[in-house]
Amino acid sequence: MTTLEKNTQLIKNQARALGFDFCGISRAEFLADEAPKLEQWLNQNYQGEMAYMANHFDKRLDPRLLVEGAKSVISVLLNYYPNVSTSESDNYKISKYAYGTDYHFVLKDKLKQLLTFIYQNIGEVSGRAFVDSAPVMDKVWAQKSGLGWIGKHSNLLNRQMGSFFFIGELILDLELAYDSPVGDFCGTCTRCIDACPTDAIVAPYVVDGSKCISYFTIELKDQIPAEVQGKFENWIFGCDICQDVCPWNRFAKPHQVAEFEPSDKLLQMQKSDWEDISEDIFKELFKNSAVQRTKLKGLQRNIRFVAQKKDS
């Protein structure tokens, strides 16, 4: 086994030891195929008010502009599929990824541990850890690293695990053995497209972000447009519909990460509790949660909007 192969195996073994479900590696290079797709997506204004999506166009397509001399992109997946759902069919719903501690903290900590391990066991390399913290096309790199394919709902799909996982990267100036992409196993299935209540999946593999329930409930700061009234199916933070209906998620297994577990208080929340939520309860429920992004005011706006469907 060559030094390159040994280093690669060492990194993958340690990623598994740290709790990552999958680890793949691809060559750090310009994403030539993605450049026209990204440009067209932005020109269609599918980013809505997410202006940051148009920033750092060049860096988004070339990891060597983020880490000088970058040679490898190490992609990792961390399962967040829960043991229990917080929402009955008639209750208000929050996306599964937001049940526990904000994934940015959990994933970044594990990636930093992996980076420290690389320094200690391979040598002083230049590298950075990324978890939605910079213009990195994480799904594309995960696909190039053989961890799955990008489905028609634009989420990464893994044959063993479905799509309920977080993606993170280490970009290093260290050459490693690279994995090959896998095929697309969506076939003729259109369940995600058919199930989206706001028609956000405008074509297979193309999502108009500005029509997505997750966009309306998290990213949009203004009032939610009246034309989507009654279409949220009780989602008040994020939305899992396109993932819930995907046949590949029949392979989803409960995660093993204690930090992602929902609190008992969150599991006990009923509609009336959500509608009367106070600042103190919000802070208690979502102290270190991704739901902090909306703040109490944003969550209350979402709850009022969803509640109005029966009054109109």
Q: Catalytic residue positions?
A: 132
17: exposed, middle or buried (C-beta count within 10 Å: 0-12, 13-18, 19+)? exposed
CA 271/CA 161 separation, integer angstroms = 31
Two tokens at 121?
A: 């066991």
Selection from 59, 76, 75 nearest residue 67 by Cα: 59
HSE toward the beta carbon, residue 200, CA cutoff 13 A: 27
| Angle value at C-alpha 288, between 59 and 235, nearest 5 degrees | 85
> Maximum distance among all alpha carbons in the chain?
68
Element (H, E) at 123: none
Residue holding tokens 């880490």?
67
CA 132/CA 168 separation, integer angstroms = 8
